[in-house]
Amino acid sequence: MDVRIRHMTESDIPVVSKLEAEAFPEDAPTPLQKELENRLASYLVACYVSPAGKGAEVITGYCGVWLVLDESHLLSIAVKAEYRGRSIGELLLLSALDDVISRGAESMFLEVRISNTTARSLYEKYGFTRLGVRRGYYADNNEDAVVMAASGINEPSYIEFLAARRMVAAGKLREY
């Protein structure tokens, strides 16, 4: 499977909004148009280029990050249900990390539902550790959020780790 990651553009907003609503039905929609105008924000999309589709792209996932000084924050990451488990989430996270590192980030923070073991496992794989818990953070069901962070993301050893992970993820995607 040929999947490319690129920055989200205005014309992607309807597809990304739909994907977001499917992945996070309980959450308020992100004002994506405003986010595109926000200089602190970066939104990426994962595009599947199908050989049968004559070069047409299918958006299979997206993620958003903010960067404030040297601290970045992963706002959202989701892969369309039928494309999960093929390393697209990893490629998005890798690209988000590359994006903020290139803009000066030293750390990345995020919140994740305590019950979301899939996402927590993805973050742990990338060196995120648990900083604490925000009790009742999610309004829909009063669920706790786990606050996680990865620090030293701009250090050579972490950048080497990302390059190695990218090779593995790209190899796995080629199998599909």
Ligand X SMILES: CC(C)(COP(=O)(O)OP(=O)(O)OC[C@H]1O[C@@H](n2cnc3c(N)ncnc32)[C@H](O)[C@@H]1OP(=O)(O)O)[C@@H](O)C(=O)NCCC(=O)NCCS
Closest contact distance (angstroms) between CB of 70 and ligand X is 22
Strand partners for 3: 48
DSSP state of 30: P
**Residue 150 · residue 165 · CB < 8 Å:** no
CB nearer to ligand X: give 84 or 166.
84
Taking CB under 6 A as the criterion, the residue among 118, 129, 139, 174 binding ligand X is 118
Active site residue 123: yes
Taking CB under 6 A as the criterion, the residue among 84, 107, 147, 170 binding ligand X is 84
Which has the closest alpha carbon to 100: 122, 126, 129, 131?
A: 126
Q: Which residue has the tokens 């494309």?
A: 83
Report which secondary-structure segment, H or E, holds 91: helix 88-102
Which has the closest alpha carbon to 61: 33, 99, 24?
A: 24
When CB distances to ligand X are compared, the closest residue is 89
CB nearer to ligand X: give 104 or 174.
174
- Label the pairing between strands 143-151 and 107-113: antiparallel
Q: Is 1 helix (H, G, I), strand (E, B) or coil?
A: coil
Taking CB under 6 A as the criterion, the residue among 14, 85, 152, 171 binding ligand X is 85
Binding mask 123-162 for ligand X (x = CB under 6 A): --x-------------------------------------
CB nearer to ligand X: give 26 or 160.
26
CB nearer to ligand X: give 37 or 81.
81
Tell me how far apart the terminal alpha carbons of the chain are, to the nearest angstrom.
5
The answer to whether residue 12 forms part of the interface with ligand X (CB under 6 A) is no
Pick the stretch among 36-44, 94-102, 112-120, 127-135 that binds ligand X (CB under 6 A). Answer: 112-120
Active site residue 37: no
Dihedrals φ, ψ of 56, to 5°? -70, 145
Q: Residues with catalytic annotation? A: 111, 123
Binding site for ligand X (CB under 6 A): 23, 77-79, 84-90, 112, 116-119, 121-122, 125
